[in-house]
Amino acid sequence: MSASSSVQLYLLDANVLIDAHNKYYAVDMVPEFWEWLLHSALSGRVAMPLETFEEVKGGPNAKKDGLNEWLHSADVEKNLVLPEEFDGGLLQRVMDTYAPDLTDVEVEQVGRDPFLIAYCLADPASRCVVSNEVSKPAKQRANQKVPDVSRKVGVECCDTFAMLRRLGFKTGWKAGT
Domain boundaries, the chain: 9-168
Distance between CA atoms of 173 and 177, rounded to whole angstroms? 7
Q: Using the predicted structure, report yes or no on whether residue 84 has a pLDDT greater than 70.
A: yes
pLDDT at 3: 44
Per-residue pLDDT band for 5 (boundaries 50, 70, 90) equals very low
pLDDT at 89: 96
pLDDT at 122: 96
* Intra-chain end-to-end CA distance of the chain, in Å: 31
Span 9-168 CATH architecture = 3-Layer(aba) Sandwich (3.40)
Distance between CA atoms of 44 and 31, rounded to whole angstroms? 20
Q: Which of 44, 120, 134, 114 is nearest to 81 (CA)?
A: 44
Give the pLDDT mean for 87-115. Answer: 95
